Amino acid sequence: MSVSQTTFHTALLDPSQAVPDGLVDASEHPAGRRFSVYRNNVAVSLTEAMYQAFPVITKLLGTQNMDGLSGIFLRQHPPTSPMMMFYGEAFPEFLAGMPQLSHLGYLPDIARLELALRQSYHAADSTPAPADALAVAPDEVMQATLEFAPSMRVIRSEWPIYSIWRFNTQENAPKPQAGAEGVLVTRPEYDPAPHLLPAGGADWIAEMMAGQTIGQAYENTSATTPEFDLGATLALLLQGGALTSVTIERLA
Amino acid sequence: MLDNAIRSNRLPAAPGVGYKPQHFQQILDHAHPVAWLEIHAENYMGDGGRPLAQLRHLSEQFPISVHGVGLSIGGETPLDPDHLARLKHLVGWLNPASFSEHLAWSTHDSHFLNDLLPLPYTDATLDRVCQHIDQVQEVIGRQMLLENPSSYLAFEESTWSEPDFLREIARLTGCGLLLDVNNVFVSATNLDFSPQGYIDAYPLDKVGEIHLGGHDEDEDDHGRPLLIDSHGREVVDPVWTLLDYALDQSGPKPILIEWDTDVPDWPVLRAEADRAQAALDRVPA
């Protein structure tokens, strides 16, 4: 009796299915519990990959709930590549679609932040622009366009995700207060870290990434967020090594 | 000696360990750490960051063995071309001393299962595995080593013994073999055959590397021992004895200590490597 990988695969993922005929022990008896070793290896290794990928979500939900959710997620969105370091991209949307988690509306954005930290960790290296790259006349600063490090990530949220993340990863962090927060992930050297962006900061970075000048992006951002603090936003980017080049178009 | 080992594109017949990032500083600070290091290919296929920076640094001082865990060489479906391209890139820039993979499958229908799954030893499997190995060796432009698995069960349909199957694969593809002595012990216990008989039948002249690791003990439905390859503890004494038995026939080989879960502090891992050195010391070169 031959056992195809399709048959093996189906039985592997569904413990309610019988062990395929044709798998035996040394005495030619049906493999029984021996097959469970493979079932268990697959389930445990993938669940552990989820814990490692989403430690704050695991802490917020508790391991028992995380086990249950991971089981459902792994069935709906199995890994499609051996690159487990990037697994879980669909997890934020999956969390957002679970009705029983709707009272924890911030979970999907926390998962996005954890994904962003992991992507940043593995992103290509880059050389930061010199610290004095923007030390030019103010009207020239306004004409500048910027390029960002591949390790930079921006996550915006209606929830206080930076405060929630910090409260669950650092001792003595203040309790989160309600309110929208944008987060900037930068990676000076090799350790990605999240930073709270000033109001409007995420909008301004999005405009800059679309190729606007600092001045145009500042005008557009200030129109919707009058309190936007350009200086503080630029300081976070420079300190985090997130700017890789500054281009100033001088008028001829 | 290290330089020669790198240039000759082979691992030295000395102990190495599976590299874990938590040991980075101790390996660099240690006057006589180990002779070589092995990495899991898939952990170094990102675009940059600390993993690649550490690997670049280590590769200047140590011969590196790249050990793949995700190619699914025994898979019924074609090899993933994207993954092959990533492997070609890694092997290309790193120019490691060795590349090895497993006689197993881990992907089906584009679904990666993150485990090494067993194969029936039939003519059909032989053809498929050989085609895949030919393809890998063609893409990376070098010989690869193929590792014997840990088995928990057998396929009724198998018509080849595992040593004969591996010998035939090596003959048809020109690949070398990676002899995992712990896997031989685990499979021999689980499938009730003689581990020494397995070694006697194994084409030891094709072996480019030996693996040693720890296993866990469980029981099957009939209360018989069921050993599970876990790489989470010390190598047990009967496996060291089996290593001596293999080395007596093969002569000195590169020996790797694998410890992937519950990773110990460096001195514990280093002590296992010292024990492998002692095993090598008693073998005439």
Domains in chain B, CATH or no CATH each:
2-281 (3.20.20.150)
Question: For the segment B109-151, what is each residue's pLDDT rounded down to a tens digit?
Answer: 899 999 999 999 999 999 999 999 999 999 999 999 999 999 9
Split at pLDDT 50, 70, 90, the class of B6 is: very low
B5: pLDDT strictly greater than 90? no
Q: Is there a contact between B190 and A124 if contact means CB atoms under 8 Å apart?
A: no
Looking at residue B105, its pLDDT comes to: 98
Split at pLDDT 50, 70, 90, the class of B8 is: very low
**Strand runs labelled E in chain B:** 15-18, 36-40, 64-67, 98-102, 105-108, 111-117, 145-147, 154-155, 176-180, 207-213, 215-219, 225-229, 255-258
Question: CA A204 from chain center: how many Å?
Answer: 20
Q: Which of A1, A6, A9, A152 has the highest number of chain B CBs within 10 A, making it the mutation to test binding with B?
A: A9
| pLDDT < 50: residue spans in chain A | none
Q: Which of residues 50-79 of B touch A (CB under 8 A)?
A: 50-53, 69-72, 75-77
| Nearest chain A alpha carbon to B50 | A190
Q: Cα(B280)–Cα(B285) distance, rounded to whole angstroms?
A: 9
Strand B36-40 and strand A181-186: the pairing is: unpaired
Q: Which of B39, B43, B220, B231 has the highest number of chain A CBs within 10 A, making it the mutation to test binding with A?
A: B220
A151 CB neighbours in chain B (<8 A) are: 48-49
Q: What percent of chain B has pLDDT over 90?
A: 93
Q: Is there a contact between B110 and A38 if contact means CB atoms under 8 Å apart?
A: no
Residues 6+ apart with CB under 8 A from A136: A144, A248
Looking at residue B7, its pLDDT comes to: 37
Interchain CB contacts (distance < 8 Å): A and B: 149
Q: Please state, as a whole number, how many other Cβ atoms lie within 10 Å of the Cβ of residue B104.
A: 22
**Strand runs labelled E in chain A:** 23-24, 144-148, 153-157, 181-186, 193-196, 243-248
What ipTM, to 2 d.p.?
A: 0.93
CB B246 within 8 A of CB B210: yes
Calculate how close chain A gets to B75, using CA atoms only, in Å.
8
| Nearest chain A alpha carbon to B193 | A26
Calculate how close chain A gets to B26, using CA atoms only, in Å.
19
B1: pLDDT strictly greater than 80? no
B55 CB neighbours in chain A (<8 A) are: none
Cβ of residue B269 closer than 8 Å to a chain A Cβ: no
3-state class (DSSP) for residue B10: coil
Q: Cα(B144)–Cα(B204) distance, rounded to whole angstroms?
A: 16
B186 CB neighbours in chain A (<8 A) are: none
Q: Which of B112, B119, B159, B261 has the highest number of chain A CBs within 10 A, making it the mutation to test binding with A?
A: B112
Q: Which of B83, B114, B151 has the highest number of chain A CBs within 10 A, making it the mutation to test binding with A?
A: B114
What is the pTM for the complete model shown? 0.94
Alpha-carbon torsion B198, B199, B204, B210, what sign?
positive
| Nearest chain A alpha carbon to B46 | A122
Question: For the segment B164-182, what is each residue's pLDDT rounded down to a tens digit?
Answer: 999 999 999 999 999 999 9
Arithmetic mean of pLDDT over chain B: 95
Q: Is there a contact between A12 and B117 if contact means CB atoms under 8 Å apart?
A: yes
3-state class (DSSP) for residue A135: coil
| Nearest chain A alpha carbon to B81 | A81
Q: Is there a contact between B221 and A32 if contact means CB atoms under 8 Å apart?
A: yes
B30: pLDDT strictly greater than 90? no
Calculate how close chain B gets to A252, using CA atoms only, in Å.
39
Q: Cα(B145)–Cα(A133) distance, rounded to whole angstroms?
A: 51
Q: How far is CA B40 from CA A14, A164, A190, in A?
A: 29, 34, 20
Cβ of residue B217 closer than 8 Å to a chain A Cβ: no
B202: pLDDT strictly greater than 70? yes
Split at pLDDT 50, 70, 90, the class of B26 is: very high
B118 CB neighbours in chain A (<8 A) are: 38
Split at pLDDT 50, 70, 90, the class of B33 is: confident
Looking at residue B9, its pLDDT comes to: 58
A3 CB neighbours in chain B (<8 A) are: 120, 155, 157
Of A37, A81, A125, the CB nearest to B228: A37
Looking at residue A57, its pLDDT comes to: 98
Q: Is there a contact between B191 and A124 if contact means CB atoms under 8 Å apart?
A: no
Q: Is there a contact between A122 and B118 if contact means CB atoms under 8 Å apart?
A: no
Q: Cα(A198)–Cα(A205) distance, rounded to whole angstroms?
A: 11
Split at pLDDT 50, 70, 90, the class of B81 is: very high
A25 CB neighbours in chain B (<8 A) are: 153-154, 190-191, 220, 222, 224
Q: Is there a contact between A9 and B108 if contact means CB atoms under 8 Å apart?
A: yes
A122 CB neighbours in chain B (<8 A) are: 46-49, 51
Looking at residue A251, its pLDDT comes to: 59
